[in-house]
Amino acid sequence: MIRWRFIHIPKTAGISISQAYGYGTEIGHPHTPASEFDPDVRMFAVIRNPIDRAISICAYLFAVKQRELTPVDFHQWVAAGCHHDHLEQDLAIVSWRGPRELRITSEQKCWLTPAVQLVGYERLAADLPSVIRLLGLTPKKLPLLNVSLRHRTAAAYHDPATWESLATRYYADFQIWNQLMNGGPIPWS
């Protein structure tokens, strides 16, 4: 039997994947980073365009507070360092408490190690089945769960200063995502 673990980075289709396949053979909190598992365990994670993920996170935080996200709200949230006390204080949005605390807004790279097979969120339907087969599982159609409710496209949130702030904050994530989008799944070493 293959030992495996799905590394669930917040707002990257993790609820849908865990509903279809579970989190794997290795026990741990759903948002446990890869560094907490034996490197011999086959791990995979989904990486998402950092700007789209930031919009999704902010929309999720506003939805929990029963407010629709507007472009002005998003720009203010990014300007505040992707943090709003009035949104997060009641939610205890801490995804992982371990040697370091990971929040819903933490960089995607914080959940990863070099041993993690990466799948692109934007190409999930095309790339995930091959990873699933390598684990000895049968690919399934993913349910659409925990989808961020936003009534605008990413272009509606475009603002050069906001994009620049996100590019700086999530620089390493952009590097990983660009590599993944230009070459498909990054294979297990």
Contacting residues for 89 by C-beta, under 8 A, at least 6 apart: none
**For 92, left (φ over 0), alpha (ψ -120 to 50), or beta?**
left
Task: Indicate the pTM of the whole model.
Answer: 0.87
State mean pLDDT over 81-105: 62
Whole-number average pLDDT of the chain:
84
State mean pLDDT over 133-160: 82
Confidence of residue 189 (pLDDT cuts 50, 70, 90): very low
Residue owning tokens 């371990």: 98
Query: Nearest 5°: CA angle at 166, between 93 and 153?
Result: 85
More confident residue, 97 or 81: 81
State mean pLDDT over 81-95: 55
Retrieve residue 85's tokens: 């006390």
Q: Is residue 165 helix, strand or coil?
A: helix
